[in-house]
Amino acid sequence: MSENPPGEIRRPPSRAVDFGLALLTLAFWLVVYSQKGRWHEGAMATALAGGALALAGRQAFVAGGRWKVALGAIWIFTLASAVMPPRVMEVNAGSIGSVPRQLPGPADTWASKEGPREISVPLAGGSSALVRLNLLESHDTLPPRLQVVAGDCDLGIIHVKRGGGSPPSRWQEQGRKSSYTIMVPAKCLDKERNQVALRPVEGSWIAIKNMVINPLPAPWELWRFIISPWNWLLFWISSGMVAARMIWGDGEGPGKRALVMHAGLGGVVLLGLMGVLTALAVYVEARAPWMTTTQDSWLPREMYGNGKFIHDQSLGWRLLPNHVALTQRSPDHEPEVFYVNNKQGFRALGTEMDFPSKGKAMLLGDSFCQGEFLSQEQTIASRMSSRLGGYVYNFGVLGYSTDQEYTVFMEWIHKVEVEWVALLFFPNDVMFIDQNQGHGFDKPWYEINDGRVDFARFHPLPREYVKAENAPILARSGPQAVYCCHTPRDVSVASRAMKKAAGYILGLYYPGRLGAQIVSDVKMTKIKMSSTHSDVSAELLENPEAYRPQFTAVFDFIARMNQVSVKRGIKFLAVFIPDIIQIYHPENPKLGNFRDMFMGMCAQNGLPCLDASGKLMEKTKLNDTYFIDDGHLSPFGAQVVGALISDEIEKR
């Protein structure tokens, strides 16, 4: 029966009440998100979703009756927590950023001088936080002590427990895991840029699983004190009661036809929303650089980290010899070869541990030639070998500059028989050409006077230094397996799109989090300056004339390699590989000055040179040719460059 007195006409809720309630709801969630420092990502999506639900339950406020007001209060209160993404953040190791897979300590002489020496993660200011460090393993005899610093506060020392001595390939299964919790007071987080840092001050390495940051609720965030499962129970119960209130109102209930119409309309809306989310997932997966970000793809960064090189007297460093890197999807799957370093300390073409005596071509270069983050079959050398039908030697090593590539050339041009020599030149090659250090490693050097190289004055590294530095590295060498997810070649675009669509649909459970995720995914479909990583400064690319002496020295080395090749009846080719920002930002024509200077000096010196810029820029319209968060060639980019060089070889 109706609760209205006889003869009284019930007034419907006014639009002013609806509008005011919506504004209050929007303002409430915008304030909450601004306190979190993430309102720009998910506030609007969360506020709109919350506003729609709030309007749906408006009758609980305006219809009168204490139980209705209580119902509305519970519903809005629990809604605040239900639609708000949880603030707990998990930072996984192995991702690009400040949390490495393995953090060396002061006792680890094998670690690169420029490698990570601390863990640092950002924290939101305004409230205290609990930070939990989860380790997979630590050194079994020299576990480190970690100093904890947050802002200007020294929070003390963590004494890490001894590890179990398991190899890296077994850290996930057999490592002696441990966890450490740090309380970070709010007073240490009152600045705009807050972070907590953990620095080894004594001992050896730790192997990190992740760091979990849990900001504690502020006093005014009452809803965050409700335990999540109870909050959801209250939310769904109150939502059901609000829905029933909307359907039945104050009468005895509608007929079956009205119920069917309500249910049908709800089903149509839900199916339409699912269709929109599915279409959006297909768009994101088809357009986003799904396999060209090292952070989001399966590529195990730790395979290229510290300890994967050895020192060398004449070259400075080489790849760790006789080393096989394996990927394994899970302990139940057989390991697969990711890359092989042969006994000479260079990338093998297949699984052979020695170079053959005869081949088609010799490739010289740095990490672009080596194929950083690329598997065996994805490197430029592998692409060229398949195309040209002969062995292509891969003499590329991360961090090499043209002087080191010249030294490799002079060592091997007399040992192997080839028809072609191709030098891959990258802009940062000029940065270390006259230095005795490069990328944190000591390197040998030639004396250079006024830009001219004195080839008779070469300074190798001391033998004793190389032997001492290599001892701990070689003691730890051997095959390494890294567990990772499915490789991109195993999963189709359709499968990934359906998986993402399912995630979106299930994400309706958390509208705020879903909104932030969609915004993030759509952003990944657009390449911006902020999303590309480059190791070359824009100043170098825009004003190469400032590096004229270094350019002159580079071309002394290139000209000498061309001269030696021609005398031996071998064809030579220098290939210019542009930096990522030169390809992804053609709107800045000054970035092309470096390329123009290089190709101009090629012409002046009568050297055969090939510019890969045009082809890479053309093919980037089809797919990403670079890892946008790292700057190296993607599998597709390596394919483009390999085909370009092969075309040039076949023409000649």
For residue 305, give both structure tokens.
């980290």
Spatial contact of 597 and 634, defined as CB atoms under 8 Å apart: no
Residue 123 contacts by C-beta under 8 Å, 6 or more apart in sequence?
A: 129, 131, 150, 184, 189, 194, 195, 196, 213, 215
- With CA atoms as reference, report the closest residue to 63 among 292, 214, 241: 241
Give residue 520's pLDDT: 73
**pLDDT, tens digit, 9 for 90 and up, residues 205-253:** 898 888 888 777 665 555 554 545 555 555 566 566 656 555 555 444 4
- With CA atoms as reference, report the closest residue to 652 among 559, 571, 561, 566: 571
Dihedrals phi, psi of 278, to nearest 5 degrees = -65, -45
For residue 156, give both structure tokens.
């003390």
Report residue 24 CA to chain centroid gap: 39
- Kindly state whether residue 485 falls inside one of the protein's structural domains: no
pLDDT band per the 50, 70, 90 thresholds, residue 1 = very low
Min mean pLDDT across 67-71, 295-299, 334-338, 641-645 is at 295-299
Give 414 or 481, the one with higher predicted confidence.
414
**pLDDT, tens digit, 9 for 90 and up, residues 294-353:** 444 444 455 555 457 889 999 999 998 888 877 766 556 677 788 889 999 999 998 888
Percent of the chain with pLDDT over 90: 26
Give residue 39's pLDDT: 38
Distances (CA, A) of 13 to 6, 65, 258: 20, 14, 21
Spatial contact of 18 and 208, defined as CB atoms under 8 Å apart: no
- As a whole number of angstroms, the distance between CA 41 and CA 476 comes to 44
Give 26 or 188, the one with higher predicted confidence.
188
- With CA atoms as reference, report the closest residue to 456 among 551, 599, 556: 556
pLDDT at residue 70 above 50? yes
Residues 77 and 132 in one domain: no
Q: How many CB atoms lie within 10 A of CB 180?
A: 16
Residues 552 and 610 in one domain: yes
Residues 542 and 621 in one domain: yes
- With CA atoms as reference, report the closest residue to 597 among 609, 587, 588: 609
Spatial contact of 634 and 294, defined as CB atoms under 8 Å apart: no
Q: Report the CATH number at residue 440.
A: 3.40.50.1110
Q: Find the radius of gyration of the CA atoms of the chain.
A: 31
Give residue 530's pLDDT: 40
- Kindly state whether residue 416 falls inside one of the protein's structural domains: yes
Among 168, 199, 216, identify where a domain stops: 216
pLDDT at residue 603 above 80? yes
Question: What is the sign, positive or negative, of the torsion defined by CA atoms of 303, 170, 113, 180?
Answer: positive
Residue 194 contacts by C-beta under 8 Å, 6 or more apart in sequence?
A: 122, 123, 124, 125, 150, 151, 188
Residues 571 and 636 in one domain: yes
Spatial contact of 635 and 378, defined as CB atoms under 8 Å apart: yes
Give residue 531's pLDDT: 47
- With CA atoms as reference, report the closest residue to 287 among 540, 567, 525: 525
Distances (CA, A) of 556 to 400, 433, 537, 595: 16, 11, 24, 18
Give 489 or 378, the one with higher predicted confidence.
378
- Kindly state whether residue 299 falls inside one of the protein's structural domains: no
- Kindly state whether residue 228 falls inside one of the protein's structural domains: yes
Residue 330 contacts by C-beta under 8 Å, 6 or more apart in sequence?
A: 483
pLDDT at residue 265 above 70? no
Give residue 503's pLDDT: 79
Residues 228 and 207 in one domain: no
**pLDDT, tens digit, 9 for 90 and up, residues 371-411:** 988 888 899 999 999 999 999 999 999 889 999 999 999 99
Spatial contact of 545 and 451, defined as CB atoms under 8 Å apart: no
pLDDT at residue 418 above 80? yes
Give 1 or 68, the one with higher predicted confidence.
68
pLDDT band per the 50, 70, 90 thresholds, residue 21 = low
Min mean pLDDT across 52-66, 129-143, 436-450 is at 52-66
Give residue 401's pLDDT: 94
Among 216, 237, 269, identify where a domain stops: 216
For residue 302, give both structure tokens.
């730790």
Domain that holds residue 434: 354-463+534-651
What integer is the mean pLDDT of 131-141?
A: 86
Give residue 230's pLDDT: 53
- Kindly state whether residue 285 falls inside one of the protein's structural domains: no
Give residue 290's pLDDT: 45
- Kindly state whether residue 498 falls inside one of the protein's structural domains: no
Residues 16 and 95 in one domain: no
Question: What is the sign, positive or negative, of the torsion defined by CA atoms of 307, 308, 310, 311?
Answer: negative
Residues 13 and 64 in one domain: yes
Min mean pLDDT across 80-94, 410-424, 557-571, 622-636 is at 80-94
- As a whole number of angstroms, the distance between CA 374 and CA 488 comes to 12
- As a whole number of angstroms, the distance between CA 325 and CA 626 comes to 22
**pLDDT, tens digit, 9 for 90 and up, residues 433-473:** 988 887 767 899 999 988 899 999 999 999 998 898 888 77
- 132 forms bridges with which residues in the sheet? 181, 212
Residue 116 contacts by C-beta under 8 Å, 6 or more apart in sequence?
A: 98, 100, 103, 104
Which DSSP category does 233 fall into? H
- 611 forms bridges with which residues in the sheet? 576
Spatial contact of 166 and 172, defined as CB atoms under 8 Å apart: no
- 425 forms bridges with which residues in the sheet? 576
- As a whole number of angstroms, the distance between CA 380 and CA 172 comes to 33
For residue 126, give both structure tokens.
């305004």
How many Cα neighbours within 13 Å face the side chain of 282?
7
Give residue 262's pLDDT: 58
- CA angle, 504 as apex, 499 and 506 as ends, to 5°? 95
Residues 146 and 132 in one domain: yes
Per-residue burial over 56-78, b = 16 or more CB atoms within 10 Å of its CB, e = otherwise = ebbbbbbbeeeebeebbebbbbb
Q: Report the CATH number at residue 116.
A: 2.60.120.260
- With CA atoms as reference, report the closest residue to 246 among 15, 66, 54: 54
- With CA atoms as reference, report the closest residue to 349 among 393, 386, 384, 319: 393
Distances (CA, A) of 359 to 109, 362, 381, 393, 402: 38, 8, 12, 7, 23
- As a whole number of angstroms, the distance between CA 540 and CA 241 comes to 66
How many Cα neighbours within 13 Å face the side chain of 224?
15
Give residue 251's pLDDT: 46
Residues 454 and 569 in one domain: yes
What integer is the mean pLDDT of 97-102?
A: 63
**pLDDT, tens digit, 9 for 90 and up, residues 492-543:** 667 777 878 887 877 765 666 677 778 877 776 665 444 455 667 778 889 9
pLDDT at residue 575 above 70? yes
Give residue 232's pLDDT: 56
Residues 540 and 631 in one domain: yes
What integer is the mean pLDDT of 88-98?
A: 56
Give residue 431's pLDDT: 86
- Kindly state whether residue 374 falls inside one of the protein's structural domains: yes
For residue 432, give both structure tokens.
């270390």
- Kindly state whether residue 310 falls inside one of the protein's structural domains: no
Counting the structural domains of the chain, the total is 3
Residues 636 and 546 in one domain: yes
Residues 621 and 567 in one domain: yes
Helix (H, G, I), strand (E, B) or coil at 198: strand
